[in-house]
Structure 1
Amino acid sequence: EIHLNHKAIGLKIENNRISEVVFENTSSCEKISAKADHYISTMPVKDLINSLEYDIPQEVQEVANGLLYRDFITVGLLLDKLKLQNGSNLIPDNWMYIQEKNVKLGRLQIFNNWSPYMVTDLSKVWLGLEYFCNEGDALWNMEEAEFIDFTIDELSKIGVVDKKDVIDATRIRFKKAYPAYFGTYNRFDTVKEFLNRFENLYLIGRNGMHRYNNMDHSMLTAITAVENIINNVKTKDNIWNINTEKQYHENKLTAVENLTGDVEKLSYNPAEYWEKTENAYAYYPTVKHRKRFILNSLKNFKFKENTFVFDYGCGEGGVLSGIREKFNLTSQQIGGFDVAENVITKLKEKFDSPNFYHEKLPVLNKKCGVIICSEVIEHTEKYSDIIKWIHDNLDDNGILILTTQSGKIHASDIYTGHTQHFNIKELELLLKDEGFRIQKSFLWGFPLFTLQKYLTNINFKAVQKNYLEGELSLRKKIVFDVTYFFYFIH
């Protein structure tokens, strides 16, 4: 059955399953209910959360209610001809983004160029005029006839049409057309994980997933959800992975110069990595070098009694220990995040501080005077989310110390879970776009660090077994110390 002009207002839950949905007729306000084995939702996530008859965690409710959208108005305009032409013919583009500052028009579509079957009379031209707005603003509230006249005036102003060639027009408004990647979106995983617990509920499409999918991506999420139901597939990861895998990206990842293959990186598990390397990690020459570099970078920073230092990707906490000791900070002035939950549990005990988090992009209760992000962004394709999180949680006069890797991806990089390496110039642009002012940026590593990577490629399994994992022997410590000495001189 298809019920038109109805909206879902209540979802009943039993044993982590949706058991029933209550609908309301938008005209008569009459309520009906329906039961099913499986439920597929394309409704906005915030509306879905508010419809659940369930004890919803406060953080989930807060994130859902903070999700934002942009709305959309399109005007279909039928013309005898376009004033803007390519020689004597219709211009070949199917759409154009409008850059002129003196109009509000965002994009122009020429439906004739999508397919001749979209236009009954090929001697005429059908245009789609697209405006990006917010529900309730001046554009949204304009009467239809007034808005159509407004759009024709704009096209005439930029030389696309002549008013006398307009035959007919219609306006359509779309609420929540564009799920926004601001507001509380940086914490969306909290909502996603909460909704994934309901085993017979599947979220699909732009609003259903709060994701800026193209039409083909949205259709594919629906197809995948149905295939999961038919084949009794319990995980929903394959739905959420649509439009995130590299084969769906229309453009190269910003600032990335080298990528790790999908098969290679799947073997990396952070918790297992830390269990194997815990005893030796702090003595790795590269780790000791980075710690010295970070401490030296902070020597001119003016620490105050309330300065909060956060290490995003804190590992075993060696950098934070060094900062606390060198600058006489209290345990309450430091905190960190790491993806390995077993590491965070130990750090909370080690520093006697609650300011350590296993959740990605954690919600902090204070701004940070210093944020360290050392050898982290090369481990995730969502590195831009981390950079935005850092910007949002850093004091206006705070400092970010960021280290990452560039160049070829080696065996040691795959072992530690790298997904990409960066081009430093493009990374600088990415940081500037996010609002950072770069004080100093430089490449380090050639020739010694580079040479070490190429040498370990020869027999990395032996290096892994004899040096990186297991107990810290005297032999290991001597090798590490000699290598670090050369790094120090370098």
Structure 2
Amino acid sequence: MTNPDDWDRHWRDYADTAEQNPAQNYRREIILSLLDITGAGEDSRIIDIGSGQGDMAAAIRARFPGAEILGLELSEAGVEISRRKVPSARFVQRNLLDGTAPPEEQRGWGTHAVCSEVIEHLDNPGLLLKNARAYMNEGCWLILTAPGGPMSAFDTYIGHRKHWHRREIESLLRAAGYRPELVTGVGFPFFNLYRCLVILRGKKLISDVNVGPAQNASLAARGAMAVFQRLLRQSLNSSRRGWQMIAKARA
């Protein structure tokens, strides 16, 4: 097994697969709605914490073309992919666990921040959230997502430490100095159903993902992704039974 925390390799191998994942698309739409940005986003400065290969930043740019975007990412490979994908945004390689202060021009910079599907990969997510506050202005909105529900074999393979409950996320945010205004589950019933299929696929999903972009997948896999792209839009966006955890908090 490869090192699940080798994020350079992760984004080189799985960037296309992640981009086409229907669950990722569902999450991005919820995040965009919770940002509460009006118009084209002028005067909004959005931080993407753990910006990965730039898919969230690309969605923000498409929805809010007037916003400024700063992506903070541990992986140099992720930063390189992101810069090609969203050239109008700024992406920098940062380790938010080492306590290094941000450059002066980025200190207190953000009016909004997103941290999507990051904390499940960390041994100390509270430290990351505390250090990220240095990039936010007073009252900055943070939108955080994390997986809930059972873990799959693929989750373990890519380094998930744990999946989260609503009260755990609320406690985590408060301990890191944030003021939670919303912590809930979303996605019931179709996100949960999608996750059940992922779990049932077991270790076979690892080889499925390794085939590369969606056009290389089997006809059945492509059909399932297309169906869930539609079904997930019908899921409830506030339900404690939903296995997608989402929070909105003030810095």
CA contact (8 A) 1:265 1:419 kept: no
1:301 positional shift: 5.3
Structure-2 residue corresponding to 1:390:
132
Structure-2 residue corresponding to 1:412:
154
1:395 positional shift: 1.5
1:401 positional shift: 0.4
Unmatched 5+ residue regions in structure 1?
A: 1-263
Does 1:348 find its partner at 2:83?
A: yes
Question: What's the CA shift string for 1:387-406, capped at 9, x where partnerless?
Answer: 10233322213210000123
SS at match of 1:480: helix
One-letter amino acid of the counterpart of residue 336, structure 1? G
Structure-2 residue corresponding to 1:462:
204
SS at match of 1:438: strand
Task: Return the match for 1:381 from 117, 120, 123.
Answer: 123
CA contact (8 A) 1:309 1:335 kept: yes
Structure 1 residues 434 and 349, CA gap change in structure 2 (3 angstroms) = same
1:339 positional shift: 2.6
Structure 1 residues 303 and 434, CA gap change in structure 2 (3 angstroms) = farther
Aligned length: 225
Structure-1 residue corresponding to 2:174:
432
Instruction: Pick 1 or 2: higher relative contact order, CA cutoff 8 A, min separation 6.
Output: 2
Q: Which has the higher helix share?
A: 2
Query: TM-score of the superposition, structure 1-length normalised?
Result: 0.42
One-letter amino acid of the counterpart of residue 22, structure 2? P
CA contact (8 A) 2:50 2:74 kept: yes
Does 1:297 find its partner at 2:22?
A: no
Structure-2 residue corresponding to 1:283:
20
Structure-1 residue corresponding to 2:223:
478
Query: TM-score of the superposition, structure 2-length normalised?
Result: 0.77
Unmatched 5+ residue regions in structure 2?
A: 236-251
Q: Could you tell me how far apart the structure 1 residues matched to 2:70 and 2:63 are?
A: 16
SS at match of 1:278: helix
Task: Return the match for 1:316 from 50, 53, 57.
Answer: 53
Structure-1 residue corresponding to 2:64:
327
Task: Return the match for 2:164 from 405, 422, 442.
Answer: 422
Q: Could you tell me how far apart the structure 2 residues matched to 1:387 and 1:294 are?
A: 17
SS at match of 1:443: strand
Residues 85-100 of structure 1: matches in 2 within 5 Å? none
Does 1:273 find its partner at 2:10?
A: yes
CA contact (8 A) 2:127 2:176 kept: no
User: Which of structures 1 and 2 has the bigger CA Rg?
Assistant: 1
Does 1:488 find its partner at 2:233?
A: yes
Structure-2 residue corresponding to 1:216:
none
Q: Could you tell me how far apart the structure 2 residues matched to 1:471 and 1:285 are?
A: 13
Structure 1 residues 455 and 322, CA gap change in structure 2 (3 angstroms) = closer
RMSD, aligned CA:
2.7
Q: Could you tell me how far apart the structure 2 residues matched to 1:302 and 1:436 are?
A: 27
Question: What's the CA shift string for 1:204-229, capped at 9, x where partnerless?
Answer: xxxxxxxxxxxxxxxxxxxxxxxxxx
CA contact (8 A) 1:375 1:405 kept: yes
1:469 positional shift: 4.1
Q: Could you tell me how far apart the structure 2 residues matched to 1:405 and 1:304 are?
A: 28
1:318 positional shift: 1.6
SS at match of 1:316: coil
Q: Could you tell me how far apart the structure 2 residues matched to 1:403 and 1:448 are?
A: 17
SS at match of 1:440: strand
